[in-house]
Every structure is written in C-alpha cells, then in structure tokens.
Amino acid sequence: MTKMTSREQILAKIRVNKPSEKVVLPTNLDWENTAFDDNIQRSASQRFAEVLKSIGGEAIEAADFDFIKKEIDTIHYHHVINLLPNLEIQGKDIREISDAHDLASVDLAIIEGKMGVAENGAIWLDESCFGGHRVLPFITQHLIIVLKKENIVSNMHKAYKRIQSDLFSIGFGLFLAGPSKTADIEQSLVIGAHGARSLRVYLV
Amino acid sequence: MTHSLTHSQASDTFNKDESRVDWHDESLWFIRQKRDKAAFAIPEWEELRESASQIKENVLANMDTYLLEFEQKAQKNGIHVHWATDAAEHNTLVLEIMQKHNFKKIVKSKSMLTEECHLNPFLEKNGIEVIDTDLGERIVQLRNEPPSHIVLPAIHLKKQDVGDTFHEYLGTEKGASDPQYLTEAARQHLRGKFIAADLAITGVNFAIAETGGFVVCTNEGNADMGAHLAKVHIACMGFEKIIPKIENLGIFLRLLARSATGQPITTYSSHFQKPRAGQEMHIIIVDNGRSTQLGRADFRNSLKCIRCGACMNTCPVYRRSGGHSYHNAVAGPIGIILAPNLDMKQNNDLPFASTLCGSCTNVCPVKINIHEQIWKWRQIVTQEGYAGFEKTQGIKLMNTVLSKPKVYRFVGKMGREIMRFAPFAVNNSLNKWFKNREMPDAPKESFREWYMKQKM
C-alpha cells in the first residue's frame, strides 16, 4: 500500500469527522437598512465622508479637476505619481518604473477609486488602479484617491454584488479605509504605521 | 511546548502589581465598549451574527468539498497549494521554499497559525531571519516574548516598556515613550526590512472556495508592504478559514473589525487572487489537530472562530490575568476551548480559568457557545484524570455533602458556627476564596431553619 499524501490524509480525516447535519447557506445577504446611530437621513456620499473622517481620512467635494489641481498644487511634493490622465499634475511616469522597490521614494500617489462604501468609508481598488504596481497605495507616503460620487454604495453587501464578477478575473484588489494606522502602543492611535500617512478623497 | 506555571500560578504573578492589573483590565474593557458602540449602530447586527454562524456551520459540514474547490481554483490562478498535517510539516514546507530559492530574509505579518506552529524559532535555528512586521508583534519579538492577545499582541505592555525596548534595539532616545515617536521609529526600521526581504509570509483571514482567492486584513498595511515587494509570498492558513462564496465576505467583513476593535472595517482588506507578474505565490493549508477537533461533536464549532478577540476583551478572567498566563498561542476564552484539543495534559488547567459567566458567548460574532464548551472541557479533563488531586477530591467531597440532605444540613450548620465564632479558621491563606476578598457574615440560621419556624 502506498503512503497517503498529507493532502489525502487531511481530507480523509475531515470526511470521517465532519458533522453530518447539513446547514443551508443563507442567501439574499443584504439589508436595506443602513440607519446609523443618530437616524438622520443623509446621502451615501455624505455618510461616506463622515465615516472616512472618523477613521482618519478626509473627503472633499470637488466641482472639477481644476479644483483638485489647485488644491494639490498648494503643497510641494518631491516625488509624485499621478495616474489620472485628466488631472494635470506633473510627476514621474510609473511606466518607467520596473522594480516596485523604486517606489519607496514616492511622496504622493494620486489614483482613481472604483467604488466607495458609505457604512465604513472604504474604497474598492483593483489592479487597474495601481499603474502596474500593487504596492503603490501602500508604499507612498501620502495617498489621494479621486472617487465618483455615483459610485458610492451604502453597505458591504451591495459592494460585493458590484464587484462579484470582477473577483473571478482580477489578480488583486482591496478595500482601503483611511490612512495606515496602529494602536499597538498602549492603545494610543497613531496614523502612519507602514502604509500611507494620509488619505484624502476627492468626490467628483 | 511545555510551560512551567499553571494559569492560576501565572495569574498570581500578574496580579502582584495591582495598579497595573487595573490598567490592563480597563484597557481591554475600553475596547469591549468600543465594540458595543459599533455593534449597536447596526440594526441588523444580530442577523449578521446569525448568518455568519450559519455560513460557518455549513462550512464545517462541507469542509472537504470547499477545500478541494478552493485548491482547484487557486491552482488555476497560478497559486501553489500545499497541505500540512501538523506544525512540523508546515514549518518544513516554508523552509524548503526558502532553501529552493536560497533566500535568507523573511518579513511576516500577523499569523496566529505560525505562532501555533512555532515557525520563528524553527526558521531562526535554520539560519533564516524572520521579522514580525505588525508593530505589536515586532515589539514582543524584540522582547523575546509571545503575543499576549491575538489582535493586540503587546496589550500587556506600557509605553515606557516599549520605549525601553526600542531604545535597546532601535536606538530611540533613552526614556522616550511617546507612541507617535516610537511608531515612527518602527516605521523607519521596518521599511528597511520590507525593502530587503526575499519572501513575505502572511496569514489568511478568509479563503474563498468559489474564486480560489484569500483575504488578509490589517490596519498597518504591513501584510501588503511585504507581499507586494517580495519575490515570493506564502500565505499560511488553518483549514477552517475557508468560506464558500464571495458574498459571504460582506457578512464577515462587517462583523470582524467591529467585534475586534470597534472600527467599521480594517484599514486594508486585501483580496489576493493571483500572483503579480514574476512573483511566486504559495498557500499552505494546515490541519494540526483541526480535523480531530472537527470530530468532537461538543467542540467542533470552535472551528467557526474568525479570530476577532472579542471574547478576550470581555472576559473578566483574561482582563485580570493577562494573555501570557494561558501558555498557548491563542489565549482567553477561545484559547481555552482550542488548547485542550492540541494537548490535553499540558492545558488541563485552562478550562478552569473561567467564571463561566457567558460574556464571551454573547459577544462572539459567529455565535460559538464558548462558555458551554469550557464547562464541557472541565468534565472531560476531570474524566481523563487531568484535573489534579485537590480538585478531584474537592468534587468528590461536594458530591457526598450535596447528595445526602442530613450531611448537608450538618455541614452547613458547622460552617455557620465556625464562621461566626472562629472566623480565623476560614479567613486565612489556605482558603482560596479569601484571597483578595472579605468572607461574608454568616447567618444565624439556614433558610430551611427559618422556613420551618415560619410554618409553625
């Protein structure tokens, strides 16, 4: 008799030991109600902005790209990567960067978000948002995301409905909610652990 | 792993510094309160818990099918899938991947599984540098301690302790204890490690059968900094981390961070599906006793756990005894019901480290009946003869007294008389109930005596 592989051993033992009663998977996983603590009616984008603020980020309504450009121009960033073709901000062309490690010196990355979630201030980003380098939104010192207001959904159930089919084909994606943070030293909240030190979202 | 102190002995040591215990207790209770605030803001919270519980029960009954589906989809996505029956095999698999590439440097984000497998000492023994990159984990790693909490690894430490450690190892200013300053120092130190690492290890929060992808949640961004820079990424998962569908993530991500810290979601919830161009991605699916636990009808649903740590934050015993007193990778109530499965003899003290108050069960986002399982483990540990002489004899004596009404009445009367006329006989260090407490005043008569009088 040949020795069973670890895979066969584990699966065999699971088959013997698993419970026989079948619990049916719950379906229609959504809840319309996204009433919040104070029951005040808000639009999804208003709620998104509030929650984002509470988790250390910042959301600003922008009438157009000129407004965003003017705002960004007020601060001098040494090394900028701008992935929005319609936003005239000078920076380095990410296509010229072959090794992701070279992004370590990026001060500001400006990218477009695919979808926002009002209940938790998270933004869905996938591989099409990073200019070919997944590490970009993490390694940059500061991050600006431009998000269309119409792409903000109320909760995570609706969010997953939207990206469901994408998740069968993309290589990587994430919900990003606010700047990097930690409270590992005496529960004191510190913004800027390993990822971006700040997150600003322009709602257009 | 052997340990020198039982939970109650280690708790004794932890309780020597009373103000520090109070501080520990309050820190964790504060997190429990944040959890409540977050949970109460969601009207459908209880429905979410119920759905999460159902999904996980469905997983337990279809574990093999989902794992196979996951394996097939992951392989199709270009991920190498490995299986490890135990900790040793898991550790060897990691080492082999390192050796195949002739790699020397690993950055690791939080993974309780690798703690359970004692991966770090094994790799270090084989000449490999492993850097824990979660700030809390890095702090305890530098101090050569295990994490004391699954979500907050350094919750037992004060900022002055961290300042001393960073001064010694990272060259921060002596006496500096400002969290902002210390975190910045760690950021700079660990950026260097991220850039230099050959390989990144991450844990897995959820593995999705229908896509072959997996989700890793962090607040710091350390899992992503590691995984997206290193040439090779290994994700290590206990097999119970599998869930069937993408749509299930909506439930779990709404529950996880709110239960853990009261945040609406972790800063980063990263969905890894395929390796990036030129990168190699591995998943190690680990059993290490889980398939045995799956066969224990009373305890199998401990495998529903999503490692939020809410049961620890709420536990009156954990808050006042600290994570290290549990001498197990996972401490607190959930640790109590997982550890005896791994080694009943080594962990025979843990089921007694509980008041059975049930608070853990009430906050559990996947509705594990934690306190009932603790009570059941007590029975098994005792039946197997691991409960120790004192407890066994005590229970036998109780059995004699409580099953014979005349003996019960006599002993009750004796007890009352002794407490009234010779209190020193019970108010001493031999009586464990007297520790940190005043004994109550003994009544003159029992309820029965009073009742008989009223009847006349």
Cβ within 8 Å, pair A135-B152? no
Nearest to B222 among A20, A23, A194 (CB): A194
Provide, as residue numbers in chain B, all residues whose Cβ is less than 8 Å from the Cβ of A185: 135, 139, 154, 157, 159, 162, 179, 182-183
Interacting residues of B8 by C-beta distance below 8 A, sequence separation 6+: B349, B352, B353
Phi, psi for B109 (deg, rounded to 5):
-95, 180
Strand partners for A201: A59, A145
pLDDT at B368 over 90: yes
- Tokens (6 digits) for B147: 């994490």
Q: What angle do CA B327, B207, B314 make, to 5 degrees?
A: 40
Interacting residues of B285 by C-beta distance below 8 A, sequence separation 6+: A10, B67, B71, B81, B82, B83, B84, B237, B239
- Tokens (6 digits) for B43: 């009207």
How many other C-beta atoms are found inside a 10 Å radius of the C-beta of residue B59? Answer: 25
Q: Is A75 on the interface with B (CB under 8 A)?
A: no
Closest CA to B157 of B393, B324, B310, B342: B324
Chain B, nearest residue to A24 by Cα:
B58
- Tokens (6 digits) for A31: 């809840």
Provide, as residue numbers in chain B, all residues whose Cβ is less than 8 Å from the Cβ of A172: 270-274, 276
Residue B426 banded pLDDT, cuts 50, 70, 90: confident
CB neighbour burial string for A104-118, b if at least 16 within 10 angstroms, e if fewer: bebbbbbbbbbbbbb
pLDDT tens by residue, B263-315: 999 999 999 999 999 999 999 999 999 999 999 999 999 999 999 999 999 99
pLDDT at B376 over 80: yes
Cβ within 8 Å, pair B83-A138? no
- Tokens (6 digits) for B26: 């309050």
pLDDT at B367 over 80: yes
Nearest to B265 among A18, A122, A193 (CB): A122
- Tokens (6 digits) for B303: 């495998």
Chain A, nearest residue to B287 by Cα:
A10
pLDDT tens by residue, A47-74: 999 999 999 999 999 999 999 999 999 9
- Reported residue count of chain A is 204
What is the 8-class DSSP label of residue A37?
T
Strand partners for B105: B129
Cβ within 8 Å, pair B276-A155? no
The span from the CA of A99 to the CA of A120, in Å, is 33
Residue B124 banded pLDDT, cuts 50, 70, 90: very high
Nearest to B183 among A120, A121, A193 (CB): A193
- Whether B116 and B288 have beta carbons less than 8 Å apart is answered as yes
Q: What is the mean pLDDT of residues B444-456?
A: 87
Minimum mean pLDDT range among A159-163, A186-190, B2-6, B331-335? B2-6
CB neighbour burial string for A145-161, b if at least 16 within 10 angstroms, e if fewer: bbbebebbbbbbbbbbe
Q: What is the mean pLDDT of residues A15-41?
A: 78
- Whether B214 and A167 have beta carbons less than 8 Å apart is answered as no
The span from the CA of B118 to the CA of B329, in Å, is 9
pLDDT tens by residue, B78-109: 999 999 999 999 999 999 999 999 999 999 99
Provide, as residue numbers in chain A, all residues whose Cβ is less than 8 Å from the Cβ of B224: 134-135, 138, 174, 195
Q: For B106-121, give the DSSP string.
A: EEE---HHHHHTTHHH
For tokens 């005894």, what's the residue?
B321
For position A40, what pLDDT does the model report? 61
For position A36, what pLDDT does the model report? 54
For position A38, what pLDDT does the model report? 55
For position B433, what pLDDT does the model report? 76
For position B387, what pLDDT does the model report? 78
Domains of chain A with bracketed CATH: 41-203 (3.40.50.10420)
- Whether B384 and B344 have beta carbons less than 8 Å apart is answered as yes
How does the average pLDDT of chain B come out, rounded?
A: 95
For position B189, what pLDDT does the model report? 97
The ipTM (two decimal places) reads 0.96
For position B430, what pLDDT does the model report? 77
Minimum mean pLDDT range among A51-65, B84-98, B222-236, B421-435? B421-435
Minimum mean pLDDT range among A30-34, B28-32, B85-89? A30-34
Chain B, nearest residue to A8 by Cα:
B83
Provide, as residue numbers in chain B, all residues whose Cβ is less than 8 Å from the Cβ of A55: 263-264, 267
Strand partners for B380: none
pLDDT at A33 over 70: no
Q: Bigger pLDDT: B118 or B3? A: B118
A69 Cα to chain B: minimum distance (Å):
26
pLDDT tens by residue, A120-156: 999 999 999 999 999 999 999 999 999 999 999 999 9
Q: What is the mean pLDDT of residues B49-65?
A: 98
pLDDT at A37 over 80: no
pLDDT at A196 over 70: yes
B373-380 long-range Cβ contacts below 8 angstroms, 24+ apart: B373/B298, B373/B299, B373/B302, B373/B337, B374/B333, B374/B336, B374/B337, B375/B351, B376/B298, B376/B299, B377/B299, B377/B336, B377/B337, B377/B340, B377/B350, B377/B351, B378/B351, B378/B352, B380/B340, B380/B344
Provide, as residue numbers in chain A, all residues whose Cβ is less than 8 Å from the Cβ of B249: 156, 160
- Tokens (6 digits) for A30: 């959504």
Phi, psi for A201 (deg, rounded to 5):
-115, 125
Domain positions in chain B: 7-291, 404-455
For position A2, what pLDDT does the model report? 66
Provide, as residue numbers in chain A, all residues whose Cβ is less than 8 Å from the Cβ of B43: 31, 33, 35
- Whether B208 and B237 have beta carbons less than 8 Å apart is answered as no
What is the 8-class DSSP label of residue B421?
H
Q: What is the mean pLDDT of residues B125-148?
A: 97
- Tokens (6 digits) for A23: 């619990």
pLDDT at A21 over 90: no
For position B4, what pLDDT does the model report? 79
Cβ within 8 Å, pair B67-A155? no
Cβ within 8 Å, pair A138-B221? yes
Q: Beta A190-191 vs A152-153: how paired, if at all?
A: unpaired
Q: What is the mean pLDDT of residues B223-237?
A: 98
For position B225, what pLDDT does the model report? 98
Furthest-apart CA pair in chain B: how many Å? 92
For position A34, what pLDDT does the model report? 54
For B7-291, CATH gives: 3.40.50.10420
Cβ within 8 Å, pair B63-A18? yes
- Whether B122 and B95 have beta carbons less than 8 Å apart is answered as yes
Q: Beta A172-176 vs A122-126: how paired, if at all?
A: antiparallel
Cβ within 8 Å, pair A55-B157? no
